Structure 1
């Protein structure tokens, strides 16, 4: 049987990943002069609280040695490994995974895939791969499931400021200035592996605007929908759930997901997103 590996930028909580049968290699968060394993040694809210006080947060990709340890253990008990990772335009993590696979001389038993995604979309791709493997699918079928998710999903995020993305080198200063306008929230999508501002909307209209994009794409087709939120803001999460319930979307499966420490370091507090893809029962 295949093992499915991903990295912690999928933003699945450790207990959720374990229940799914996913093996997660953590990136690192640098805070207060210390290095923490993403999700395992630091809570997302610790990052947001630090940012609200003006503190700086840095991140590091998972090193090749971390992947090598995980791959070696899994190859002893599995026929192969599909390793799914954050976009190479955002992190060197996928390249480090490739280096680890090469060091083990595992040949085609380890396939590393740069998904071009992160956070909610990466989680959705990893879940699809696990479900395919559990249903008896082989490596090729699991890769096709990932590609189908990638082709079919629509995910959008909105941030109160592009400052954190610009600080981390994910956006240029010009893109930051384009997005940051008084009373306006930028809406971002993944485009060819990069997170880019695609439009600007009034702050109070951002949720409705993103839902309209989902409604236009999926109509009354059943969808799997995920709400992503930076921090445990119960009131805001309740608002987002209510907005989804009041929309025209036909939600066959719904999920709530917190944005984790590494992703939070780059998008900042107040960020949230909506993602949907076609659902086949």
Structure 2
């Protein structure tokens, strides 16, 4: 039997992860003097409310000890563990997972993988691995499914305000002011494990621009589409769903995810992303 472990930056709600058969190791969110376990001790909207009030939010990687506890428990009932994590360019979480496997002398049974992804993209890879296990696949089959999904998917994000990227050190104050003056926003995508600006567009056309890239990539192939949104905003989410319905994408499956506390701490409320990947019709 094979267990699939990932971390909380996959942004799957804990109940959803359990239903999927995924095991989640949480990162940590720090608000002022208080530290919370991502998704477990704190709701995403609490982070966004804190940010809107001018509060500082920082994050810490999942602890080695947390991985040791999860691996020890799973190895008592499973033959092996595939542990799939957010990009090592963004966090030391994957390295802490490797250290935990070494500390338990379990490197032959625990395969730790740096996905090069985060958030809804990491969720897609983890779900693909779990589906491979449910289909009877072994560790290599699950790993191949996760890696193939990571290569095939396309995900891009954008932000309604530049304030939180500037607060997090990703933009200078001058870049923030200039972007606001011109009414432009970055489109963010994963490149070499980093979330970087791949282009800049007018704020009002950002969703349409992302959808155009998805259409260009996938054409009329059947796709699964995921909306990731930072905060509960029914109006904005309805607009994004309507834009997807009006696009040329052949959507056969869809999912909505809230971006979690750790991811939200770095991008701020109102950030959203659209992801598509090929699936069988």
> How well do the aligned residues superpose, as a CA RMSD in angstroms?
1.6
Match of 1:192 in 2: 192
Match of 1:114 in 2: 114
SS at match of 1:108: coil
State the distance in 2 between where 1:160 and 1:243 align.
17
How far is 1:121 from its partner?
0.3
How far is 1:33 from its partner?
1.4
**Deviation above 2 Å: which 4+ runs of structure 1?**
160-169, 171-182
Equivalent positions of 1:264-279 (< 5 A) are 264-279=264-279
Residue 16, structure 1, aligned to residue 16, structure 2: yes
How far is 1:107 from its partner?
2.7
How far is 1:179 from its partner?
8.3
8 Å Cα contact 1:179-1:185 kept in structure 2: no
5+ residue gaps, structure 2, are none
State the distance in 2 between where 1:222 and 1:193 align.
26
User: 1:254/1:175 Cα in 2 relative to 1: closer, same or farther (>3 Å)?
Assistant: farther
How far is 1:108 from its partner?
1.9
State the distance in 2 between where 1:248 and 1:115 align.
29
Equivalent positions of 1:57-206 (< 5 A) are 57-169=57-169, 171=170, 173=172, 180-182=179-181, 183-206=183-206
State the distance in 2 between where 1:102 and 1:221 align.
43
State the distance in 1 between where 2:112 and 2:70 align.
13
Match of 2:223 in 1: 223
State the distance in 1 between where 2:28 and 2:119 align.
15
User: 1:33/1:67 Cα in 2 relative to 1: closer, same or farther (>3 Å)?
Assistant: same
State the Cα deviation string for residues 157-194 of structure 1 (Å, max 9, x = none). 0012444345445x364995598343111100000000
State the distance in 2 between where 1:17 and 1:175 align.
41
State the distance in 2 between where 1:19 and 1:134 align.
13
How far is 1:54 from its partner?
1.0
TM-score by length of 2: 0.96
8 Å Cα contact 1:229-1:259 kept in structure 2: yes
How far is 1:280 from its partner?
1.9
User: 1:185/1:108 Cα in 2 relative to 1: closer, same or farther (>3 Å)?
Assistant: same
Match of 1:235 in 2: 235
5+ residue gaps, structure 1, are none
User: 1:66/1:194 Cα in 2 relative to 1: closer, same or farther (>3 Å)?
Assistant: same
State the Cα deviation string for residues 216-245 of structure 1 (Å, max 9, x = none). 010110001000100000000000001101
8 Å Cα contact 1:163-1:176 kept in structure 2: no
Match of 1:259 in 2: 259
User: 1:48/1:147 Cα in 2 relative to 1: closer, same or farther (>3 Å)?
Assistant: same
State the distance in 1 between where 2:115 and 2:156 align.
17
State the distance in 2 between where 1:32 and 1:10 align.
24
8 Å Cα contact 2:166-2:176 kept in structure 1: no
State the distance in 2 between where 1:11 and 1:216 align.
27
8 Å Cα contact 1:179-1:197 kept in structure 2: no
TM-score by length of 1: 0.96
Moved more, 75-84 or 156-165: 156-165
